[in-house]
Structure 1
Amino acid sequence: MPTLVITDFNIVCSILGGFVLAFGLVSFFVKERLYLSEALIALIMGIALGPHGAKLIRPLIYAKDSEENLDAINLAFSRLVLGVQLVLAGVQLPQKYLAHEWKSLAMLLGPVMTVMWLVSGTLVYALIPGLTYVQALAVGACITPTDPILSNTIVKGKFADKHIPVPLQRIIIAESGANDGLGYPFLFLMLYIYRYAMLSDRVGHGVGLFFTETLLYTIALSVVYGIVVGWVAKELLHWASLNRLVDRESFLVFAIALALFIVGTCGMIGTDDVLACFIAGNVFTWNDWFRLETLDDSLQPTIDMLLNITIFLWFGAVAPWTEFGNTLEIPFGRLLAVGILVLLLRRPPVVLLLHWYIPRIKSIREAIFAGYFGPIGVSAIFYLYVTIEFLADVEKLPLDESQLKGVKQMMIATKLVVWFAVISSVIVHGITVPFIKIGNVLPVTISRSVSRMTDNIPGLGGLISRSPSRSRNSVSAPLPDVGPRDRRVNVSDISGPIPPEVALTSDQVERGKALAWDDENLERGRDRGQRSAPQQTV
């Protein structure tokens, strides 16, 4: 006699598969017409299906009713997704990108990231009660890196192709990938100060650990390991491809397998697997061979989409929703203030101020975009649970009652602030593009409606002045569609030597120069009904 087998495994598979199927049926409409990010949709569905909604996804039960097990699951899941995403982010960058764009990356990963950390920590210190400045800077370090997963949802798609120059898209991807791994020094500098200077008198030991364990072992070794593994993997795959030893399926999945290998091996030796994955992805496509070979294949974007949906569905279910308003030490109003002010002050002002020194940000308009779209996401959750794991070890030390209370308060504050910042970023950045589109379309629609109404009212049409060049009977020639920036041939956007596969003829170069005028002039020309750029026959 058949019986229902309603196990957790069957429920999770049904929910995940059903949601991917349902979302897939309307994915083009949602992402390319409504301009909503898949991360936001998955987060909302996770809330609806999680323990605070339909209770179909039950994270705590999967963790055997253990908060410690649940924290370990969250840490492992975020590590896995970040590792794969960062290798894919490194692979999609052009030939020798890190070497060609070192000036822009040095500014973004140096002064800009440092100011982001200090601003975030200062806001946490000012608004969250009971934390010392060192503790607040540790919390701020968790939300300092920009997220490569959410960044990809912003710089891909029809909106990005039309409105975001390709060089700006690439520098955002590169920065979000590199600064994830470089969040370690900021975080562990504060954690070591807290443990060895504030909870004990072993300052020298803490300083030594920071330089040896964090800077040399965790960061430097990760960079060297990523370079070696990425280069060896590239050479082996190239050799196997030349000798016809690898089939197409294995060729396409090679970068993903490389990410899994690095996450596992770095996890075993205790280095920064996040940074190693990004470095390995860049080295793996250093000569642009693999990127050009897989340019028209959709396996990597498909895996990227599945990981995005899965992890944000899980985040929606596992986030501490009930704790946001029920924690007496941190009122909800203060959390809301932190979420808003961090998004407004953490990144936009410093990028706008220093964009003159970042070669790849060429205008104030681009600086505003690069500053605003610095989302907080999976990388912040990763650093959150790294911090909780560190503080759990600190709790086991022989501490007095006040010190133990401070450690527990820091764990609670870090958990609530980081989760709330991530949720705020997913929501705000997820709905920003639709609001931009509404802001652009609504005035035009209202103007056209008013024009039709006045034309139908006798005598009223003449009250509205028209310029001679835009009279009622005149027909304005439509502007030619120059297409998205990435389809233009702009020699200034090409990093390094041009590969033979994409070599340009002199006619193509001249055509690229003719079409690559300034975007602001083009927009002003469209508003006036004519080009602002010099008229040329192309």
Structure 2
Amino acid sequence: MDAQTLIMGGFGLLILLVAWFPIFISHLPLTLPMLCVAIGFGGFSLLGENGLSPRDYPGTLSVLTELTIIVSLAGAGLSIDRPWAWRQWMNTWRLLGIAMPLTIAACAALAAIYLGLPWETAVLIGAVIAPTDPVLAADVRVGPPREEAEDEVRFSLTSEAGLNDGLGFPFTMLALGLAAHGTLGDWTWHWLAVDGLWRCVAGVAAGWLVGRLLGNMVFRLGAQTIARTGQGFASLGITFVAYSAAEYIHGYGFIAVFVAALMLRSRDDEYGYHLRLHGFIEQIEHLLMMMLLVLFGGSLAGPLLEELTWPMAIAAIVVLFVIRPLAGMISLLGSRLRSCERVIVSLFGIRGVGSFFYLAYATNIGDFAQIDAAWAFVGFIVLLSIFSYGMLSAPLMSWLDRRQAALAGAEQKPG
């Protein structure tokens, strides 16, 4: 059997796995990402291959992860029913403006002081670890448009993941600047003005403009013809147009895709077109995610974790279960969330595809000392994140739903 036939057969099995397997594991402490990682690891091990090394293919990995992220960001934006308003997104701004910088600083310090990595590499690790992942957070995300009420926990986690993937770019660029110049200097002002300010604003502006224009075209000018008969695969077109528009004006395409999807979703839709757009993009997202996770499993059978040490393993546990929860709790002090809701929002800082994208992107451009150790450290964090959160998410969210229902019922009782 030739390689092409094996690839086609394997791809077909992966599609069937994505489509059908979640039905059989819905009541088990397992997730499809966990299974795909195991399949990738087992497949490469049984075939006697040396596994994959993402360190050797940073350009290819950057493209694949970038595509997966923008598709996922579009799906997250289309799923949010809440209008884009400052007060209604207050918990999101807290997580982005307080929790994310605290996480970056703490992770960079941990990598430099405890693990002994150079500061430029440590800052890079902080930047790539800080963004939470919209791709792997299916169990803690809001549901499809208009299908269920958005509770504050799921909304906060979805909106945070939708925006902080783009906000990881300025800090990655900071690490690249440190790698190139050695220390902070005059270039820092350019970084603040361009990478820190302009590209964020340009991303928001491009996403807002594309989303508004396409929303008017679909729900006003084209009149209900497009909304009534339009195909779901147009969601890919929306995604790519928004991304390209932002990149053309040197903005962050990740931010633009999420904002464009939000703007389109904000339009009234009596024909259910939002559901068709979201349904298609969600299926593509799942397929891309599973492919990447099988490849990630294959890399675990290879040299990815060769540089992993016990101090790194301990540091990974600290990142996921100490630094992120503490940063999240600090950022949510004074919010209207109940204590149990703050704990869950703070805990579920899932790491995944975004971390690999930023690490591959930086590796493809800059020269970082001890970068193999960084790959091993980040790879172990993602592995630990997939399995720990995969087992915790469903039972914890079910418990939260029951508790919220009980509290709501108690508040409605007279007297």
TM-score (norm. length: structure 1):
0.68
**What's the CA shift string for 1:186-227, capped at 9, x where partnerless?**
2222332342243xxx821x1243034313443222222111
Higher Cα radius of gyration: 1
Residue 408, structure 1, aligned to residue 369, structure 2: yes
| Separation in structure 1 between the aligned mates of residue 401 and residue 396 of structure 2, nearest angstrom | 18
3-state SS of 1:278 partner: helix
Distance 1:95 1:358, change over 3 A: same
Aligned-residue offset at 1:320: 7.3
Distance 1:434 1:109, change over 3 A: closer
Q: 1:376 corresponds to which letter in structure 2?
A: R
| Separation in structure 1 between the aligned mates of residue 51 and residue 68 of structure 2, nearest angstrom | 20
Residue 354 of structure 2 corresponds to 379
Residue 41, structure 1, aligned to residue 18, structure 2: no
Aligned-residue offset at 1:265: 5.1
Q: Within 5 A, what are the aligned runs for 1:178-327?
A: 178-198=163-183, 203-204=185-186, 206-239=187-220, 241-242=222-223, 244=225, 248-250=229-231, 252-264=232-244, 266=246, 271-289=251-269, 293-295=273-275, 298-319=279-300, 321-325=302-306, 327=307
Residue 10 of structure 1 corresponds to 5
3-state SS of 2:225 partner: coil
Distance 1:58 1:260, change over 3 A: farther
Percent identity of paired positions between Structure 1 and Structure 2? 19
Q: Is the 8 A contact 1:128 1:334 kept in 2?
A: yes
**What's the CA shift string for 1:151-208, capped at 9, x where partnerless?**
2233368xxx99x97222112100111111111222222332342243xxx821x124
Distance 1:291 1:245, change over 3 A: closer
Quick one: which of 319, 334, 349 aligns to 2:326?
349
3-state SS of 2:366 partner: helix
Distance 1:59 1:181, change over 3 A: same
Aligned-residue offset at 1:301: 3.3
Q: Is the 8 A contact 2:29 2:394 kept in 1?
A: yes
Quick one: which of 382, 389, 402 aligns to 1:429?
389
3-state SS of 1:19 partner: helix
Q: Is the 8 A contact 2:52 2:302 kept in 1?
A: no
Distance 1:349 1:291, change over 3 A: farther
| Separation in structure 2 between the aligned mates of residue 93 and residue 321 of structure 1, nearest angstrom | 39
Query: Which segment drifts farther, 114-123 or 173-182?
Result: 114-123
Distance 1:223 1:57, change over 3 A: farther
Residue 29, structure 1, aligned to residue 4, structure 2: no
| Separation in structure 2 between the aligned mates of residue 383 and residue 301 of structure 1, nearest angstrom | 23
**What's the CA shift string for 1:382-412, capped at 9, x where partnerless?**
11112212324xxxxxxxxxxxxxx332x22
Q: Within 5 A, what are the aligned runs for 1:68-79?
A: 70-79=57-66
TM-score (norm. length: structure 2):
0.86
Query: Which segment drifts farther, 181-190 or 311-320?
Result: 311-320
Distance 1:227 1:298, change over 3 A: closer
Aligned-residue offset at 1:242: 1.4
Q: Is the 8 A contact 1:352 1:364 kept in 2?
A: no
Distance 1:57 1:268, change over 3 A: farther
Residue 173 of structure 1 corresponds to 158
Distance 1:386 1:423, change over 3 A: same
Residue 333 of structure 1 corresponds to 310
Quick one: which of 134, 139, 146 aligns to 1:153?
139
Q: Is the 8 A contact 1:197 1:203 kept in 2?
A: no
| Separation in structure 2 between the aligned mates of residue 319 and residue 213 of structure 1, nearest angstrom | 37
| Separation in structure 1 between the aligned mates of residue 78 and residue 150 of structure 2, nearest angstrom | 19
Q: Structure 2 regions of 5+ residues with no counterpart? A: none
Q: Is the 8 A contact 1:181 1:272 kept in 2?
A: yes
What's the C-alpha RMSD, in Å, of the aligned pairs? 3.4
Q: 2:188 corresponds to which letter in structure 1?
A: V
Q: Is the 8 A contact 1:266 1:272 kept in 2?
A: yes
**What's the CA shift string for 1:100-127, capped at 9, x where partnerless?**
4232222111111111111211221233
| Separation in structure 1 between the aligned mates of residue 270 and residue 354 of structure 2, nearest angstrom | 26
Ranked by relative contact order (alpha carbons within 8 Å, sequence separation 6 or more), the top structure is 2
Q: 2:160 corresponds to which letter in structure 1?
A: E
Distance 1:408 1:320, change over 3 A: farther
| Separation in structure 2 between the aligned mates of residue 138 and residue 291 of structure 1, nearest angstrom | 46
Q: Is the 8 A contact 1:37 1:430 kept in 2?
A: yes
Q: Is the 8 A contact 1:193 1:203 kept in 2?
A: no
| Separation in structure 2 between the aligned mates of residue 10 and residue 414 of structure 1, nearest angstrom | 36
Aligned-residue offset at 1:137: 2.2
| Separation in structure 2 between the aligned mates of residue 305 and residue 46 of structure 1, nearest angstrom | 16
Residue 369, structure 1, aligned to residue 344, structure 2: yes
**What's the CA shift string for 1:477-513, capped at 9, x where partnerless?**
xxxxxx968xxxxxxxxxxxxxxxxxxxxxxxxxxxx
